[in-house]
């Protein structure tokens, strides 16, 4: 009996030692996570006071302190509370739901903090089961970019388990769980490790009731642009067939069509100077180039240069680029005519028409115009040369060969430069175009023109304007906006404008939205925020119930406006309830509007960027 | 005697057949298309706030958002954002945006640069109950007013959802509200384009 007891006690001792060793192994693993020297690489994080969006009392100080404490314990350098409070008092900052660029700079200069942690509480209910929803984001004080964003929505009865053992009945315990999740997600980001759950909507998909995506835009919401490869070209009579290339960039997965036709020029059609009737180009999926052919009459007589202006119009599933018109010049056979300007005794001056101009990289070409002070009876010849002064790359070709000839009787001529559009994000380039010594003219005041080629491959910026709130829930528009910001940042490929900066501009412009954003308001915001896209919409429901038993409901519509055409690129409407798709034992039930909205928004953003 | 009975049966059959044929000829009276209108010329429209005859005070806006998305996705016409429509309504001084007069529609057309305005009425939106059974039900009607002439060129109505025989016998609660709304809007659009 004794030996049996001693055997049992020995077995128990071995088991305890085994468990202790096993736990030791586990702890060693988590210590390794904590040991990442976060404060060694990151300047301090300033944890701002909470923004309370619930409309009810919230233990804001406790939640904020819990997050700061958790971050400190994980090794993150957090700015002192006193420093933060003094800063807020000095700058009279009362709104802590976002920061604008001035506040960010001031924080950096005065406190040395490299980023600010902004936290918003969207739901806090103490009735059993308690509910809490917190959203947090880390914003750089240098660039005002959103470095990290995450949110958590919890209900005490999320995982009741067997016999209700998993229920959380105390709000404090739920808040602790929520803050721990957020702090863990942030430290994971700061240590450069990717979250297992990031990069897509979590849980079930909630497809919108209806959705529209303009097929003129690709997956990154960049437009499929149609344009001529060159802005101008030419040839003599008897050239035969002139071939003008039209390009589509980037290639589309759908068929694209565009009409083309004559829109002006001095040449005459119907076989006199050329034969051309216009038509429609059809790009098959993935096709990027098409050719328009113009038959130039070979037997026509003419002395002067004549032009044909061809334009693209009515694109389907694409948009027209800068170079939607092309000028084809039929060079005259004998430009030296009888002199009608004999009375001109003085030699004219030749000069550029302006000192500088800027064009986007996708403009396909640029024309630098040289003008004479008055017309003359002789051809004026002007040699010219290019010099790249900034940017370092030579992504251009001069269509006009040096020297430029301003024909007798004409007052100006263009140096046409074709630009190569690439997909690289790079700095703007500068070309200096300078003239040499002209023949039959004197050099004028402007002998040099600087052409700036602006890069169009920068990351597209998107401003999420607070949704227009039609629901009875306070701040529901801002809450849905934060969900979109989170999913857009997670999706990557966009520069998401900090909401604090948007709020500042809305206040500056005194914009009060009535039933959503108007095109005039959108135009002002595009300019002030320098954004490429504006995402906004309307919230019709964002319902949570106090206590147990209720079912959350979220209902919103989304509108995405594009800057250039001020057109709607995306529109969708979503309405879901927490029990959608739930059939047995509440399995899959979503208990907070925060989590439901998060999944719905995740699905919308996924579809938008598909 | 036998011949008379046979004649009577023949007469009954003829009457029944005629009734059946007449019934199949009858129109549902829930669609109107102005035959003189060139609908291809309508390139942009403003969808006005819908009149709401239901208990859900946001039913009009819910259906309006679904309708706008569905109309945009046809790619047949451009639909102005609701905020832009609100700006136009305010600037044109439209007394009742849910049913603008021809003069007001014309003014809106000039201000918003649209070819037509769409108005709608949500007649039913919510649960229909019968005994212990319930199911979602949506009933809508819409019309399009061409802004140059200020005349109605298209109207249509649709009702979807409700309690089916299956629901009555076995329960089930019918389809979700968003599915029913989408089906009703799709039917309305079918009546615009067909």
Alpha-carbon dihedral sign for residues A488, A494, A500, A506: negative
Out of B66, B85, B179, closest to residue A573 by CB: B66
Mean of the pLDDT values across residues A17-43? 46
- Name the 3-class secondary structure at A386: strand
Percent of chain A with pLDDT over 90: 36
In angstroms, the CA A428 to CA A419 distance is: 13
pLDDT digits (tens, 9 = 90+) for A135-182: 999 999 999 999 999 999 999 988 877 777 888 889 999 999 999 999
Mean pLDDT across the stretch A75-99? 91
Q: Which of B84, B176, B182 sits opposite A580 (nearest CB)?
A: B176
Q: What is the mean pLDDT of residues A392-399?
A: 69
Interface test with A, best of B49, B81, B126, B140 (most A CBs within 10 A): B81
Interface check for B131 against chain A (CB to CB < 8 A): the answer is no
Q: Do B58 and A210 touch (CB under 8 A)?
A: no
pLDDT at position A13 is: 56
pLDDT under 70 in chain B at which residues? Answer: 1-5, 18-29, 171-174
Cα(B87)–Cα(B101) distance, rounded to whole angstroms?
17
Other Cβ atoms closer than 10 A to A126: 17
User: With contact defined as beta carbons under 8 Å apart, do B129 and B109 qualify?
Assistant: no
B86 vs A514, A541, A559: nearest CB: A514
Q: Which residues of A13-33 are buried (b: 16+ CB within 10 A; e: fewer)?
A: eeeeeeeeeeeeeeeeeeeee
pLDDT at A322: 75
Find how far residue A572's CA is from the centre of its chain. Answer: 19
Chain A: closest CA distance from residue B126 (Å): 14
Dist. CA A293–CA A287, nearest whole Å: 18
What values do phi and psi take at B43, rounded to 5? -100, -30
Q: What is the mean pLDDT of residues A438-445?
A: 86
The single-letter DSSP state of residue A509 is T
Nearest CA in chain A to B172: A583
> pLDDT band at A21, cuts 50/70/90?
very low
pLDDT at A238: 64
Q: What is residue A306's predicted lDDT score, i.e. its pLDDT? A: 78
Q: Quick one: three-class SS letters along chain B? A: CHHHHHHHHHHHHHHHHHHHHHHHHCCCCCEEECCCCCHHHCCEEEECCCEECCCCCCHHHHHHHHHHHHHHHCCCCEECCHHHHHHHHHHHCCCCCCCCCHHHHHHHHHHHCCCEEEEEEEEEEEEEEECCEEEEEEEEEEEEEECCCCEEEEEEEEEEECCCHHHHHHCCCCCCHHHHHHHHHHHHHHHHHC
Q: Is A172 helix (H, G, I), strand (E, B) or coil?
A: helix
B119 CA to centre of own chain? 10
Give the helix ranges, DSSP H, for A355-453: none
Q: Is the bond preceding A403 in cis, omega lying within 30 degrees of 0? A: yes
Q: Give A434 or A418, the one with higher predicted confidence.
A: A434
- By CB atoms closer than 10 A (0-12, 13-18, 19+), residue A344 is middle
Residue A335 has pLDDT above 50, yes or no: no
**Considering CB atoms only, which of A538, A576, A580 is closest to B65?**
A538
Query: Is there a contact between A370 and A442 (Cβ–Cβ < 8 Å)?
Result: no
Give me chain A's average pLDDT, please: 82
The rounded radius of gyration (Å) of the Cα atoms in chain A is 33
Higher pLDDT, B25 or A598: A598
Q: What confidence tens digit (pLDDT) does each residue in B110-136 have?
A: 999 999 999 999 999 988 887 777 888
Q: Please say if the pLDDT value at position A409 is more than 90.
A: no
Please tell me which of the candidates B69, B83, B185 has its beta carbon nearest to residue A516: B83
A276: its two tokens:
């051309």
Beta carbons of A518 and B70 less than 8 Å apart: no
- For residue A470, is pLDDT > 70? yes
pLDDT band at A28 (very low <50, low <70, confident <90, very high): very low
With contacts defined as CB-CB under 8 Å, which chain B residues touch A538? 61, 65, 82
| Confidence tier at A33 by pLDDT (50, 70, 90) | very low
Cβ atoms of A462 and A535 within 8 Å: the answer is yes
At A138, which helix (H) or strand (E)? strand A131-140
The token duo for A585 is 């034992």
Rounded Cα gap, residues A82 and A390, in angstroms: 47
Residues in chain B closer than 8 A to A573 (CB atoms):
62, 65-66, 68-69
Task: Name which of B45, B48, B50, B72 to mutate to probe chain A: the one with the most chain A Cβ atoms within 10 A of its Cβ.
Answer: B72
Whether A204 contacts A599, CB under 8 Å: yes
**B54–A contact, CB cutoff 8 A:** no
Flag the least confident range among A86-95, A234-243, B60-69: A234-243
Q: Do B83 and A572 touch (CB under 8 A)?
A: no
Cβ–Cβ of A210/B90 closer than 8 Å? no
| Cα A58 to Cα A64: distance, rounded to the nearest angstrom | 11
Partner-chain residue, chosen from B58, B68, B87, that has the shortest CB–CB distance to A518: B87
| Cα separation, A101 vs A363, whole angstroms | 32
Of the listed ranges A249-253, A336-340, A491-495, the least confidently predicted one is A336-340
Min Cα distance A538 → chain B (Å) is: 9
Q: How far is A217 from chain B (nearest CA, A)?
A: 13
Inspect the interface and report whether the beta carbons of B81 and A541 lie closer than 8 Å: no
Size of interface A-B (CB pairs under 8 A): 91
Residue A533 C-alpha, separation from nearest chain B C-alpha, in angstroms: 15
The interface pTM score, or ipTM, of the predicted complex is: 0.80
Pairing of strands B44-47, B78-79: parallel
A chain contacts of residue B78, beta-carbon cutoff 8 Å: 567-568
Residue B45: other Cβ atoms inside 10 A? 24
């Amino acid at each position: 009996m004794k030996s049996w007891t001693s055997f049992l006690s020995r077995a128990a001792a071995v088991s305890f030692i085994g468990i202790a060793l096993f736990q030791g192994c586990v702890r060693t693993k988590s210590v390794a996570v904590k040991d990442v020297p976060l404060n060694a690489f990151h300047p301090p994080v300033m944890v701002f006071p909470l923004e309370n969006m619930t409309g009810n009392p919230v233990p804001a100080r406790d939640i904020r302190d819990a997050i700061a404490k958790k971050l400190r314990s994980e090794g993150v350098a957090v700015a002192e509370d006193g420093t933060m409070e003094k800063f807020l008092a000095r700058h009279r900052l009362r709104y802590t739901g976002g920061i604008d660029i001035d506040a960010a700079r001031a924080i950096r200069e005065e406190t040395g903090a490299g980023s600010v942690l902004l936290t918003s509480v969207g739901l806090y209910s103490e009735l059993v089961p308690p509910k809490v929803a917190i959203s947090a984001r880390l914003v750089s004080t240098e660039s005002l970019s959103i470095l990290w964003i995450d949110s958590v929505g919890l209900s005490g009865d999320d995982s009741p388990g067997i016999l209700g053992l998993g229920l959380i009945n105390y709000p404090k315990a739920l808040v602790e769980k929520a803050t721990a999740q957020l702090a863990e997600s942030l430290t994971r980001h700061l240590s450069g490790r990717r979250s297992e759950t990031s990069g897509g909507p979590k849980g079930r998909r909630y497809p919108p009731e209806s959705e529209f995506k303009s097929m003129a835009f690709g997956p990154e919401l960049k437009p499929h642009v149609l344009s001529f490869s060159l802005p101008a070209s030419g040839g003599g009579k008897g050239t035969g067939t002139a071939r003008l290339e039209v390009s589509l960039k980037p290639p589309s997965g759908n068929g694209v069509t565009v009409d083309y036709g004559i829109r002006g020029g001095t040449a005459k059609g119907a076989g006199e100077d050329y034969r051309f009737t216009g038509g429609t180009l059809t790009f098959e999926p993935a096709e990027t180039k098409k050719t328009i052919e113009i038959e130039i009459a070979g037997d026509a007589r003419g002395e002067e240069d004549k032009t044909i202006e061809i334009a693209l119009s009515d694109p389907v599933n694409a948009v027209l680029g800068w170079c939607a018109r092309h000028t084809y010049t039929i060079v005259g056979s004998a430009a030296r005519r009888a002199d009608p300007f004999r009375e001109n005794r003085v030699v004219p001056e030749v000069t550029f028409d302006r000192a500088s101009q800027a064009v986007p990289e996708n403009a396909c070409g640029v024309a630098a115009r040289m003008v004479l002070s008055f017309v003359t009876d002789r051809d004026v010849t002007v040699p010219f040369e290019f010099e790249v002064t900034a940017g370092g790359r030579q992504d251009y070709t001069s269509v006009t060969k040096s020297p430029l000839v301003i024909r007798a009787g004409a007052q100006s001529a263009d140096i046409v430069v074709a630009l190569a559009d690439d997909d690289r994000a790079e700095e703007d380039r500068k070309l200096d175009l300078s003239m040499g010594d002209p023949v039959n003219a004197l050099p004028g005041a402007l002998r040099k023109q600087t052409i700036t080629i602006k890069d169009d491959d920068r990351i597209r910026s998107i401003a999420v304007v607070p949704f227009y709130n039609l629901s009875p829930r306070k701040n529901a528009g801002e809450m849905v906006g934060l969900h979109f910001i989170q999913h857009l940042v997670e999706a990557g490929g966009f520069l998401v404008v900090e909401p604090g900066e948007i709020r500042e501009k809305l206040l500056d412009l005194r914009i009060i939205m009535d039933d959503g954003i108007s095109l005039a308001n959108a135009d002002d915001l595009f300019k002030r925020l320098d954004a490429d896209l504006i995402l906004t919409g309307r919230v019709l429901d964002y319902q949570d119930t106090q206590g147990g038993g209720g079912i959350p409901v979220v209902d919103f519509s989304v509108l995405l406006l594009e800057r250039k055409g001020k057109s709607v690129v995306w529109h969708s409407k979503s309405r879901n309830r927490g029990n959608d798709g739930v059939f047995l034992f509440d399995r899959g039930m979503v208990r907070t509007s925060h989590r439901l909205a998060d999944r719905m928004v995740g699905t919308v953003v996924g579809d938008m960027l598909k | 005697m036998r011949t008379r009975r046979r004649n009577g049966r023949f007469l009954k059959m003829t009457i029944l057949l005629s009734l059946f044929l007449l019934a199949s000829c009858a129109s549902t009276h829930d669609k109107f298309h102005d035959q003189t209108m060139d609908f291809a010329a309508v390139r942009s429209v403003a969808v006005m706030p819908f009149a709401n005859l239901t208990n859900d005070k946001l039913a009009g806006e819910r259906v309006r958002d679904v309708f706008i998305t569905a109309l945009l996705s046809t790619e047949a016409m451009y639909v102005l954002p609701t905020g832009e429509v609100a700006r136009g309504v305010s600037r044109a001084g439209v007394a009742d945006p849910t049913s603008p007069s021809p003069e007001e529609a014309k003014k809106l057309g000039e201000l918003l640069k649209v070819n037509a305005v769409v108005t709608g009425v949500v007649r039913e939106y919510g649960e229909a109950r019968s005994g212990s059974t319930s199911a979602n039900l949506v009933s809508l009607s819409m019309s399009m007013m061409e802004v140059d002439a200020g005349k109605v060129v298209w109207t249509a109505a649709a009702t979807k959802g409700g309690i089916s025989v299956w629901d009555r016998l076995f329960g089930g609660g019918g389809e979700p509200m968003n599915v029913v709304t989408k089906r009703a809007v799709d039917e309305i659009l079918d009546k615009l384009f067909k």
